[in-house]
Each structure stands twice: as C-alpha cells, then as structure tokens.
Amino acid sequence: MTLLDPETPGHDNFGPQAPRPELLRTVNPSTWADAFTVARSTAARLPEETVGLAAAIGRVLARDLQAPHDVPHFASSAMDGWAISGDGPWRVVLGARRLEQGEATPIVTGGLLPHGTDAVLRSESGFTSPVDTDTPALHTSVPPAPLLSVGPAAAAGEPRAGQHMRPGGDEARAGDIVIAASTRLNPAHIALAAACSLDVLPVIRNPRVAFVFTGDEVDESGTPASGRVRDSFGPQLPETIRMLGGTPLESRRSADTLESTTAALAASALTADVVITTGGTGHSNVDHLRAALARLGATVIVNGVLMRPGGPSILAVLPNGVFVVCLPGNPLAAMMGLLTLAAPLLARLSGRHDDGRDNEGRDDEGHESGTSRAAPLARASVSTPLAGRAGTTLLLPGTVRGGIATPNSWHGSGMMRGLADADAILVVPEHGVATGERVELLSLPWTRLD
C-alpha cells in the first residue's frame, strides 16, 4: 500500500494518465484499531420500521416492548382434572362458569377456570362415583350429579388451595416492559411477543447495501484465460452482507474508466445506505475509485488502514449520507477490509452492537465504559509465535480449538483457502505475539466462536 501525501516528493509517481487523488490531501491511513472503532461509531443507527413477528427474528427492537395486558390474560388450569371449590367430596357439574362451594367441574390443561375455583385436582388424584347418593333428588326427572372424591393416588395434602392453577398476570402485568429496546430478537422473544398478543414489532431498519465490482479482467463464469480471473465477489458478497445484517441490493459491474466507475457509484447511491466497491483502490491508471469518490464530493473517513492484507481499504461518505466501503481487489484483502470497515458499520446502522459502546466511551445508557476502543469478540492464546510487522496489524485467518488459536496456511492476499477453513481472524499487533500469549479474534460472519 502506498498512500502518498501530495506535499511529499514522489507524489507524481501516479503516471501521466492517473487521476490526481485529491482525497489523500486530508486523511492519513488509520491504525487497524482506529479504523475498526471509527467504522462502528461514525454512523447513526437507521430509523425503525414495523415488521411481522416471524420477520423480526434476528432484528433489533427499536423501543421497549410493554405487555398490553396481563400475561396470561386469564386464569387457567395447569393440569387435566377437575376445578374444585371448597372441600370435597364435590358434586360434579358440567359447563359451569362459576363454582359454588362443594362443586367441581372437569377441566383440561390450559382450560379457563370458572370463577370460584380454589384448586385443580389432577385426574389421577380423584375418582367419581356415578351417583351422589348423599344428596336426595328432589325431582326424580333430574339425574343425580356424580360425586368427585380424592383418590388413593393423590399426593399428601392434595388438593391445596391454588394448586395446579395458573393465575392471570403470572408472567407479566399490563404495562410491564417484557423486552428492552435494542435487544436482538431471538425466537423466544418472538414467542413472548405473540403471548402479548402483538402482531408486528418496531425494529431498526436493515441497511440496504449495493455493490460496484470493478475490473475489466474479471470473468463471471467458466475458466478464465491467462491474465483474466474468476470473480471472487459476485457469488458470495451479497449473502455475506445478509449475514452481517444488511439487505443486499443490486450489483453493478463498472468498466475500468473514471466515467463508468463514477456512474456506477452514483447510481448505487440512489437506493442504498451503503455501497461496497471492489478493486480499483490503487493508484495505477486503471484504478479510478479515489477519483470517482472525489468527483462525487465524498468525504473520506478512513483512507487506508495500517493492516495487511486489505491495507488500501477506504471508508467514505457521499454528500447524501450514503456510506461507501471500498475493498481492494485481492480476494482475501477484500474480506479483511469487509470485516474491518463494513462489518462494524453495518452493525452500527442496524443497531447490533458488539459491546454497546460508542466512540465517546459510553455505553448505550451513557455510562462511562472506561475505553473508547471497540472490543473484538474474543481472545485466544496462540499455539505458535507470530511475528509482527512494524507499523502494521496482521490479520491472519486461523483455527480456534479449545481456546488455542493457530494461523492457517494460505493467507496470501489473493488466496481464499486459509479463510475458507478459518474459525476466526487472528489480529496480530505490530510487535507480534509469543507462544501462549493471547491475540484478539475477529469473528467471521458465518461462524460462532464458542
């Protein structure tokens, strides 16, 4: 990576046809830690939208969710048996909405308890005799009620007052906050929302992400001729973005000209919250991204990252507020740029925070967190010494087993084998790591670290 200041000698190395990279005047490359932190704190979260319950799984709740009524909203039986009132034996009545003392009525699990119910006697704990012989029938045309008694299989003390009853409001009272704002909704939250009789939920809108792939030498299918390459990004990047909480929009392919690159970027920015570009981040006369950003009036937020691979990655924002993440063309370099800049940006836009911290070092409630540094997800001890590189953070795809991290082979900037088999990315600081020391780990969109 060569990010030249125009004031320094050598600025004219770009060649006669190369666009002048005006953007380099103001911004220097960031350290990896700063780039990651800036990317996750520069945006505000997107506005809320309303979605159906099933569609809300995995989304971030925009506001506190209050129970609109008591949950459960009626008192029910926890067992199959009889709802009883007073002491037994009980006269069995059918279809009663109210029980008088000495009455019982059959009930199933979840059934609405009649008013006056004192307890539920389980079916295995009671028995009925066909006729209530203790109560002489006054009218011979009305059959006498069966009589319910406590049976020999009943537990000691059964039935107790309130036994096997589920009172209304047992789980929540009307107005209770049952799910806090900013919660990432899991399936159990959705079932809870359904129990609260809700049909839709307010969630943070997912960022819409469009793609611009550059590179005249790229083939989308078949075996490329020498000098040409198969496209690494088209088949996987949209789905990766979905895994990161974004909604992929259309992909555009731009020719390696300033006009084509600018036009593709401008068109993508009409509908997207974030545009991700690949390739063209360099300074040769076929790299036009920087000039296209300048032509569109972009403000560069991160102009290169002191990391390898992926150093030329850029984060910028267009005048209409659309973010642009520019990934280098080398396939692994692009993925490292994605994890360093796009993943935290999308997390912030969609309201998914790794640790709830913002760039002022406060958590979401405004408490001091003691650090403004966004923490990667995990740490692990390394199985082998990892040499550092002065002034650079190395990002190595690696395997993590039982808390021990080992870098994978094939981690060259243009290779994918190391990443394909990786559990995480080892973040190696410039001074390196000795065996047994711990490295920070960046999680991959498609794996969970245990």
Ligand X SMILES: Nc1nc2c(c(=O)[nH]1)N[C@H]1C(S)=C(S)[C@@H](COP(=O)(O)OP(=O)(O)OC[C@H]3O[C@@H](n4cnc5c(N)ncnc54)[C@H](O)[C@@H]3O)O[C@H]1N2
- To ligand X, the closest distance from the beta carbon of 426 in angstroms equals 19
Of ligand MOO, ligand X, none, which one sits near residue 278, judging by CB under 5 to 8 A according to partner kind? ligand X
Burial of 188 (0-12, 13-18, 19+ CB in 10 A): exposed
Three-state DSSP at 261 gives helix
Binding map of ligand X across residues 375-414, x = CB under 6 A, - = no contact? --------------------------------------x-
Beta strands in 34-167 (DSSP E): 48-52, 65-66, 76-77, 81-84, 90-92, 103-107, 119-122, 126-129, 147-150, 165-166
Binding map of ligand MOO across residues 278-317, x = CB under 6 A, - = no contact? ------------------------------xxxxx-----
Q: How far is CA 394 from CA 151, 301, 335, 420, in A?
A: 74, 21, 13, 18
DSSP, res 53: T
Candidates 98-106, 151-159, 279-287, 398-406; binding stretch for ligand X (CB under 6 A): 279-287
- To ligand MOO, the closest distance from the beta carbon of 302 in angstroms equals 14
Measured on CA atoms in the order 360, 363, 366, 368, is the torsion positive or negative?
A: negative
Among 126, 246, 279, 328, which residue interacts with ligand MOO (rule: CB under 6 A)? 328
Binding flag, residue 31, ligand MOO (CB under 6 A): no
d(Cα 330, Cα 270) in Å, to the nearest integer? Answer: 27
Burial of 230 (0-12, 13-18, 19+ CB in 10 A): middle
410 with 387: CB under 8 angstroms? no
Binding flag, residue 329, ligand X (CB under 6 A): yes
Using a CB cutoff of 8 Å and minimum separation of 24, what contacts does 417-421 make?
Answer: 418/332, 419/332, 419/335, 419/444, 421/397
Among 96, 301, 302, 333, which residue interacts with ligand MOO (rule: CB under 6 A)? 333
**Closest to ligand MOO by CB, 308 or 357:** 308
Which residues have a Cβ under 8 Å from the Cβ of 7 and sit 6 or more positions away? none
Place of tokens 């559990």: 423
Candidates 52-60, 144-152, 209-217, 325-333; binding stretch for ligand MOO (CB under 6 A): 325-333
- Parallel, antiparallel or unpaired: strands 65-66 and 323-327: unpaired
Binding flag, residue 413, ligand MOO (CB under 6 A): yes
**Closest to ligand MOO by CB, 126 or 418:** 418
Which residues have a Cβ under 8 Å from the Cβ of 321 and sit 6 or more positions away? none
415 with 422: CB under 8 angstroms? no
Binding flag, residue 333, ligand X (CB under 6 A): yes
Whose CA is closest to 326, among 306, 339, 341?
Answer: 341
Binding map of ligand MOO across residues 368-407, x = CB under 6 A, - = no contact? ----------------------------------------
**Closest to ligand X by CB, 104 or 218:** 218
In the Cβ-directed half-sphere of 407, how many Cα atoms lie within 13 Å?
A: 20
Residues near ligand MOO (CB under 6 A), total: 10
Q: What part of residues 210-269 is at the interface with ligand X (CB under 6 A)?
A: 213-215, 217-218, 229, 231-233
CA dihedral 275, 276, 281, 287 (to 10 degrees): -70
Of ligand MOO, ligand X, none, which one sits near residue 218, judging by CB under 5 to 8 A according to partner kind? ligand X
Among 260, 303, 330, 408, which residue interacts with ligand MOO (rule: CB under 6 A)? 330
In the Cβ-directed half-sphere of 427, how many Cα atoms lie within 13 Å?
A: 18
- To ligand MOO, the closest distance from the beta carbon of 441 in angstroms equals 20
Binding flag, residue 278, ligand X (CB under 6 A): yes
- To ligand X, the closest distance from the beta carbon of 217 in angstroms equals 5
**Closest to ligand MOO by CB, 126 or 282:** 282
Q: Under the rule (CB under 6 A), what is the footprint of ligand X?
A: 1-2, 213-215, 217-218, 229, 231-233, 278-282, 287, 309, 311-312, 328-331, 333, 413
Q: Under the rule (CB under 6 A), what is the footprint of ligand MOO?
A: 1, 308-312, 328, 330, 333, 413
